[in-house]
Structure 1
Amino acid sequence: MSDVTERQNYNLRDEIKAYWSDRAATFDLSPGHEIFSEEERAAWHQLFLRHLGPGAGRAALDLASGTGVISHLLDELDFKVQGLDWAEPMLERARDKARKRGRAIRFALGDAENTMEPDNHYDVIVNRHLVWTLVDPAAAFGEWLRVLKPGGMLLIVDGDFVNTTALERLFSKLSTWGQRLGLFKAETPTGSPQMTATHRSILSRVHFAQGARAEAVVALLREAGFTEITIDRDLREIHRTQAANWNLFKGLARQSQHRYAIRATKP
């Protein structure tokens, strides 16, 4: 096969899959990915209980499950969890984590935009920081509607990671300057400069390249057929607990971002 043919066959979706496969090794080092305190765990539990209620053995699908962070939170609330991710290195870490913790969580290789899961199968679908990466969110939302049971609920936790406010930019600069001057502890490196460049390149070409604003996500959910859609912008308790792992200005920058949870129901 020629180099030209290989480049033509290697598309944006392949780049996204390769990027997250590479990120698996350092994914759990980042506050905001793994859970670093019982306070943060409790804050996530409260978010899920507020929108989904207790698990009570209901079937939950964790899309783009990564190393299983959200899957474990759902399992702790007594959901019967299936994690789905298309990056095998992420799945290896998720399975190892579940084995060490004695959790009966299933993890499988799969595409969040084409799950291959049965119709009307899940009571709940949850994903965190997935929507901004979708190449075709309209098709993905239709797929998620298909695999939910009637009355089933979707919970999206995401944000606009493109458009920053002046306040966020100021806090980020102060955080960077403080680290350079040795006033703050340096953040744990989570990837090479090349990986950072790859992330930026991917972000510039996905559907939400201009930013995954909550209202734009809701519009596509309505078009897909979801109803009873609500936007929850009050993630302050989660952000407060995460901020304990950063310097003051990094924590303030996180709290200044356009982040949200969206709940929607299949009629």
Structure 2
Amino acid sequence: MNQVSNRNIRDEIRDYWSARAETFDNDPGHKIAEGDECRAWTALFLRHLGDARGRRLLDLASGTGEIAMLCHDMGFRVTGLDWAEPMLARARAKAKTAGADITFLEADAEIIPAPSGSQDVIVTRHLVWTLVDPLAAFQEWRRILAPDGMLLIVDGDFVKKSLLSRALTKLFGSSSTHHPHARNWHEDILSQVHFANGARAEAVADLLRRAGFTEVRIDSRLTAIHRAQARQFGWRKSLMRRSEHRYVITARR
């Protein structure tokens, strides 16, 4: 692994996602489509979090605000946090258009400017695999959760490819929509984060336990979401996504 300062790698991560903000929602799998996909994500969150009941929820790595908007519509009191201001600008615009009362903050998800015990729920989608120091981040997340608070992680191993994925890539080439320069930048960043070899669910769960979380559970039942997204992806990319190691992890403070 390259030896660089935390500041340098974190700045690179922030700049990378800032550069992608303008077209982020154009890439299937980022924006949550109305109808079946929205219902599938809502059902997933209900399965693990139960009814919102007005609980305080922090959406980490909020991006353009898709998960924050979903949770707001479910009845949570939502704060979204992201390190990339261009992402937040789009999230705020969405919330304003929808009349949604969501606060969006610019901050590093590993160093959160929030009081201890100030949130009832923390959710995050596709953040953990990019963390520089996940153990410290998980300890920070536990700090800001209220007693008996819940954490929900949606993530995956986006590095190691399954046999099926490798075969499809060999036959048809990569399905990535990244600009070639952005792709190279992404690979350079990836080599410097903790999960450079892929964020496997059990490894993430083990770090959560080490950070003090309890009732850590892994759920790979994402079929409804994959099925709903298939229309956007087309059969090849949809098949590749289903072959990936994707999961939900829940834990309690």
TM-score by length of 2: 0.95
Q: Paired residue for 1:248?
A: 235
Partner of 2:68: 71
Offset at residue 190 of structure 1 (A): 4.8
SS of equivalent residue, structure 2 residue 110: coil
Q: Partners in 2 of 1:246 and 1:160 — Cα distance?
A: 19
CA offsets, 1:59-104, max 9 Å, x none? 0000010000100110111000000011100010000011111111
Aligned partner letter, 1:251: S
Describe the SS at the equivalent of 1:228.
strand
**Residue type of the partner of 2:203?**
A
- Dislocated runs of 4+, deviation >3 Å: 7-10, 172-177
- TM-score of the aligned structures, taking structure 1 as reference length: 0.90
1:100 and 2:97 aligned: yes
- For 1:114 and 1:158, the matched residues in 2 are separated by 20
Question: 1: distance between equivalents of 2:173 and 2:238?
Answer: 12
Does the alignment pair 1:48 with 2:45?
yes
Q: Please state if 1:221 is matched with 2:218.
A: no
Q: 1:49 to 1:175 in 2, by over 3 A?
A: farther
Q: Residue in 1 aligned with 2:188?
A: 201
Assess if the C-alpha contact under 8 Å between 1:171 and 1:250 holds in 2.
Answer: no
1:91 — aligned with what?
Answer: 88
Any stretches of 5+ residues in structure 2 without a counterpart? Answer: none
Question: Given that residues 26 and 191 in structure 1 are in contact (C-alpha distance below 8 angstroms), is that contact kept between their aligned partners in structure 2?
Answer: no
Number of residue pairs matched by the alignment: 250
In structure 1, what is the Cα distance between the partners aligned to 2:6 and 2:193? Answer: 17
Kept in 1: contact 2:117–2:146 (CA 8 A): yes
Given that 2:160 and 2:198 are in contact with CA atoms closer than 8 Å, whether structure 1 keeps it comes out as yes
- Please provide the CA RMSD for this pair: 1.7
Displacement after TM superposition at 1:192 (Å)? 2.0
| Contact map agreement 1:17 1:86 (CA 8 A) in 2 | yes
SS of the residue 1:171 aligns to:
helix
CA distances 1:178-201 after superposition (whole Å, capped 9, x unpaired): xxxxxxxxx7x8542111111111
The answer for the alignment partner of 1:182 in structure 2 is none
Output the CA distance in 2 between the equivalents of 1:57 and 1:223: 30
Q: Displacement of 1:175 after TM fit?
A: 4.6
Q: Please, which runs of 5 or more residues in structure 1 have no aligned partner?
A: 1-6, 178-186
Residue number in structure 2 paired with 1:181: none
| AA matched with 2:112 | T
- Secondary structure in structure 1 of the residue aligned to 2:80: strand
State the 1:54 CA deviation.
Answer: 1.2
Q: Distance in 2 between matches of 1:96 and 1:173?
A: 40
Which is higher, the Rg of structure 1 or of structure 2? Answer: 1
Change (3 A) 1:9 1:253: closer
